[in-house]
């Protein structure tokens, strides 16, 4: 079996040597060839080698890795279509290397292989942010890279601790009690945007290029979800972390003006459902986490593509600057609404057949309060992503912007993603057949459909009432910070204060040293100067007498 990441790595090396359409074709060929390597792939270790006394398993195939492998190839293909119009070899190579390393991570059977792909993901993805070229993007990319490399360092440290204690680097179930388990969980948690460790996502993703954000939304966090499912399924701590992730981003998303940053917060919100499912750890819950990761990649890519199209055509992305675009971008509007319906879990759309699996598993295991939090989060995501994104971009008011639809390739990519969202929403068994565990779950029972429609209806009424009454937070031209305030505001202030204190102390030390040297020079001048006693001319007889005394003393000492 040819490892599925190999076509991506080869294509990433060839892209700089190609021009024009040939480069764009290669970007699409790589995921097709990679996907073909998975067709009929038998489960088990497909590639194993011994190196430095360690047994490495660069390719291990099972149902969990396959479901993530499938969606990663689909995401890379859709992203390649969306980026067809680009003539930037840096973005093309970085995108291929990024997608290939994410695929390598989900098929890695040992911690060392995982670490290698973990770091390649970090380094390759940062170019998709740098490529935008604005001062804000460059600074954000630098912050992003520091955080991602830190995750890799923690993963390596945890792997070394595990190796030292067990003699093995096999990547299977770990848990918190495993040697190095806490360090490895922290490494995964950074990339999965755990609360307090999440701000790199909402900082960096909105600063990436329109095409780069599509790739970013698909791979890093979902690779982290896979590693959590592989190593920490059933870890109860993740239930509470996931519930927090689903809950807190709602409030930031509601007040956020940058619509791609809104999508960043909703991404964290949706990750919360996946992490909660992994923490519950039952077959239903893990199936729900995997299914939701699959459907989430599709509808989140669709939403980021629609906002990327708006940014590409208008040069603006703040809700306060947009509105009325449905007149000049009707197809993009409809496709964005499909993405909004999917993330809101409308019946017949992808979110409806995946999100409830996690909520059902929570009720089955007695996590009633967690279920209520997830229910609130479902209503919240309908507000900030299902309604706010299309409303403020396309309908809220007439911004006066007149443009056209984005390039045809962008529209095709959005259409493919929208078709998949509707397809698996209408025929969920197509997805369920590939989940890690066999399931007979049926999302379309009457009680579930009616309950979800009621939730959506009352959420829509609440949004309408808040908007009409003027209580809904307005779109302000401002930058909202949360945990990143620590290193974007507090950190620089502390560094500035420390620099001021150190500068003051340095100046005082220098002043004291200079004053001491001046005083020493004055004393030396008084004692040894031309007119000082030590510096005056001595008579010859005094010099001879002193010499005789010294010589006599030396002779006496020698004689003793």
Convert the pLDDT of each residue in 37-70 to its tens digit: 998 888 887 777 877 778 888 999 999 999 999 9
Neighbour count for residue 472 (Cβ, 10 Å) = 17
Determine contact, residues 130/142, Cβ cutoff 8 Å.
no
User: pLDDT tens digit string along 460-482?
Assistant: 887 778 777 776 666 666 666 67
Q: How far apart are CA 37 and CA 1, in angstroms?
A: 7
How far is Cα of residue 303 from the mean position of the Cα atoms in its chain?
A: 17
Separation CA 30–CA 27 (nearest Å): 6
Residue 378, helix vs strand vs coil = helix
Query: 347 in helix, strand or coil?
Result: coil
| C-alpha dihedral sign at 262, 193, 358, 361 | negative
Crossing angle for the helix pair 330-343 and 283-314, nearest 10 degrees? 160
Q: What is the pLDDT of residue 494?
A: 80
Residue 529 DSSP SS3: coil
* Separation of alpha carbons 257 and 479, rounded Å: 8
pLDDT of residue 535: 62
- C-alpha 299/C-alpha 276 separation (Å) is 20
Tokens 């199936």 sit at which residue?
Answer: 287
Length of the chain counted residue by residue: 560
Q: What is the pLDDT of residue 285?
A: 96
- The owner of tokens 């930037």 is 88
Residue 197: closest CA among 291, 123, 275, 131: 275
Report yes or no on whether pTM surpasses 0.85.
Answer: yes
Q: Which two tokens stand for residue 295?
A: 């459907």
Residues of the chain with pLDDT under 50: none
8-state DSSP, 486: I
pLDDT at 471: 66
């Amino acid at each position: 079996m040819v490892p599925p990441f190999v076509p991506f790595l080869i294509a990433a090396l060839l892209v700089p040597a190609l021009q024009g359409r040939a480069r764009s074709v290669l970007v699409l060929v790589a995921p097709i060839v990679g996907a073909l390597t998975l067709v009929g792939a038998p489960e088990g270790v497909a590639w194993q080698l011994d190196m430095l006394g360690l047994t490495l398993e660069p390719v291990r195939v099972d149902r969990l890795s396959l479901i993530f492998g499938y969606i990663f190839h689909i995401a890379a293909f859709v992203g390649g279509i969306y980026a067809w119009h680009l003539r930037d070899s840096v973005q093309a190579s970085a995108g291929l290397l990024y997608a290939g390393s994410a695929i390598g991570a989900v098929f890695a059977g040992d911690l060392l292989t995982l670490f290698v792909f973990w770091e390649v993901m970090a380094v390759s993805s940062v170019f998709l942010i740098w490529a935008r070229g604005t001062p804000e993007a460059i600074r954000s990319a630098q912050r992003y890279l520091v955080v991602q490399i830190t995750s890799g360092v923690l993963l390596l440290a945890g792997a070394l601790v595990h190796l030292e204690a067990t003699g093995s680097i096999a990547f299977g179930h770990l848990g918190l009690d495993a040697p190095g388990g806490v360090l490895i969980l922290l490494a995964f948690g950074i990339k999965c945007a755990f609360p307090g460790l999440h701000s790199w996502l909402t900082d960096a993703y909105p600063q990436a290029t329109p095409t780069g954000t599509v790739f970013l939304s698909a791979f890093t966090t979902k690779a982290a979800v896979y590693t959590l499912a592989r190593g920490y399924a059933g870890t109860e701590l993740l239930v509470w972390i996931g519930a927090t992730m689903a809950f807190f981003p709602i409030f930031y998303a509601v007040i956020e003006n940058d619509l791609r940053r809104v999508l960043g917060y909703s991404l964290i919100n949706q990750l919360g459902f996946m992490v909660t499912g992994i923490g519950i750890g039952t077959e239903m819950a893990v199936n729900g986490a995997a299914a939701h990761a699959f459907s989430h990649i599709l509808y989140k890519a669709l939403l980021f593509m629609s906002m990327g199209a708006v940014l590409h055509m208008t040069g603006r992305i703040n809700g306060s600057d947009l509105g009325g675009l449905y007149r000049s971008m009707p197809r993009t509007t409809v496709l964005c609404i499909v993405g909004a319906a999917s993330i809101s879990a409308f019946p017949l759309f992808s979110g409806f057949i995946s999100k409830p699996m996690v909520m059902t598993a929570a009720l089955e295991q007695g996590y009633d309060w967690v279920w209520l939090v997830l229910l609130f989060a479902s209503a919240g995501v309908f507000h900030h992503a299902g309604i706010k994104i299309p409303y403020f971009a396309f309908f809220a008011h007439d911004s006066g912007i007149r443009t056209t639809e984005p390039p045809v390739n962008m529209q095709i990519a959005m259409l493919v993603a929208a078709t998949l969202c509707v397809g698996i929403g209408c025929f969920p068994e197509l997805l369920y057949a590939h989940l890690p565990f066999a399931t007979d779950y049926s999302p379309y029972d009457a009680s579930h459909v009616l309950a979800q429609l009621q939730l959506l209806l009352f959420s829509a009424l609440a949004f309408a009432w808040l908007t009409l009454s003027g209580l809904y937070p307005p779109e302000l031209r401002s930058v909202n910070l949360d945990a990143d305030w620590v290193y974007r505001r507090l950190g620089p202030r502390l560094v500035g204060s420390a620099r001021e204190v150190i500068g003051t102390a340095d100046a005082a030390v220098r002043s004291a040293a200079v004053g001491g040297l001046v005083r020493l020079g004055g004393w030396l001048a008084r004692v040894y100067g031309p007119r000082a006693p030590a510096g005056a001319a001595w008579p010859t007889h005094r010099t001879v007498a002193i010499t005789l005394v010294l010589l006599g003393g030396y002779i006496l000492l020698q004689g003793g």
